[in-house]
Structure 1
Amino acid sequence: MLLRRIAAALVAVLAIGGFQAVTAAPAAAAPRTLYYDASQAQEFKSVVDQGAQIWNSRVTNVRLLPVPAGSTPNIRVYADNGWPRAQTTSLGNGRWYMGRQAVNQGYYQPRIAAHEFGHLLGLPDRRTGLCTDLMSGSSAPVSCTNAYPSATEASTVNRNFATTASVPAGTFIWS
């Protein structure tokens, strides 16, 4: 009680003297930048860029950008004839494949790209079958054209990159 009175008196004296007590709000951390290399994505390069922009429009704690010349990418993207799949080495690092098998079956290409980026951002497959869940992958109907993460998926990614969270290495396959 005595300490509170002394503190209040000190604040009053300082205020009379023209001093103001200011508490600074904690500074927001700058988003973590992850660089991706889509040079091996062949005909899907623009779709890869679109997938990155989808995430950039929905999350604030991480940015996906094309790798600058002379730099090492966090993420490498390839095209092949198999199923889309991702191989993570750690949170924000690894590679993913834009597999033509899913494209040939009619799956929406921007959804595939955003989904595979989601794995590198720390999200597992969630076979809910719902088009509203980006990470439901191929369990959603082929007719699904939603390429945007749900609010829950976006907030999970923001949480992943708000701290030094780690995600174990793993392989995720679209089918």
Structure 2
Amino acid sequence: MAGKRLTAGVLVALAPLAAQLLVTPHAGAAAVTTLYYSSSDAADYVSQIDQAAANWNNAVSDVKLVKGSGGATIVVHETDDGQGSYTSTDGHGHGQVYIDKQQVAEGFDVTRIAAHELGHNLGLPDDYDGPCSELMSGHGPGTSCTNAVPDAGEAAQVTENFAGGFAPAAPRVAR
């Protein structure tokens, strides 16, 4: 009977260590880079922005976009200036995204716009000649294109871009 109690006691004592081993990445595992975004200045498009971030999170495992207003390095705004949606970014997780209400009124999908502009903040360039299946083809395929999910090549490029973690680069503007 004492042996059973000792075994049970050892198992109870080791349970926290076992749980830690299950959630601790092994030595060769890639670290996850967490980027915080805020959509508080884009009240009309919050759900679409959140969906765009979720699409990136589903496509890329080592970079996560997390909603948070304080300390956000990616801030999404809505504008009504008719200049089209665009991003001012360093291409490495710091940026200001502008979603143009007039572009939305023309029929462009808000979730696609948000996901495309977040892609610039993850270091991806425009490819307006690309097909609708490429998120970074942006407005190129026209208003009928509503794909807001990055393709495998775009996801792989983001993984490569953040292999060294989170470090700012030179600012640039992308549309």
State the TM-score bracket (shorter-chain normalisation). Answer: 0.7 to 0.9
Corresponding residue for residue 61 of structure 1: 62
Deviations 1:5-28 (A, max 9, x none): xxxxxxxxxxxxxxxxxxxx7431
The corresponding residue for 2:135 is 134
Cross-structure match for 2:50: 49
TM-score scaled to structure 1, two decimals? Answer: 0.78
Residues in 1 aligned to 2:91 and 2:154: alpha-carbon distance in whole angstroms: 18
Q: Structure 2: give runs of 5+ residues left out of the alignment.
A: 1-25
In the alignment, is the contact (CA less than 8 A) between 1:91 and 1:168 conserved in 2? no
What's 2:123 paired with? 122
- State the Cα RMSD in Å: 1.6
Query: In the alignment, what sits opposite 1:36?
Result: 37
- Report the number of matched residues: 147
Counterpart position of 2:11 = none
Alpha-carbon distance between aligned partners in 2 of 1:142 and 1:102, rounded to the nearest angstrom? 10
Give the counterpart letter for 2:94 in structure 1. N
Structure 2 length as normaliser, TM-score?
0.78
- The CA deviation at 1:95 is 0.8
1:129 is displaced (CA, Å) by 4.1
Q: CA deviation at 1:42?
A: 1.7
Structure 2 partner of 1:170? 172
Gaps of 5+ in 1: 1-24
Match of 1:99 in 2: 100
Question: Helix, strand or coil for the counterpart of 1:33?
Answer: strand
Does structure 1 residue 73 correspond to structure 2 residue 72?
A: yes
Determine the structure 2 residue equivalent to 1:12.
Answer: none
- Name the larger-Rg structure: 1
More divergent stretch after superposition (90-99 vs 116-125): 90-99
What is the distance in 2 between the residues matched to 1:99 and 1:162?
32
Contact 1:124 1:172 in 2 (8 A): yes
Indicate conservation of the 8 Å contact 2:41/2:78, yes or no.
yes
Share of identical aligned residues, percent?
Answer: 41
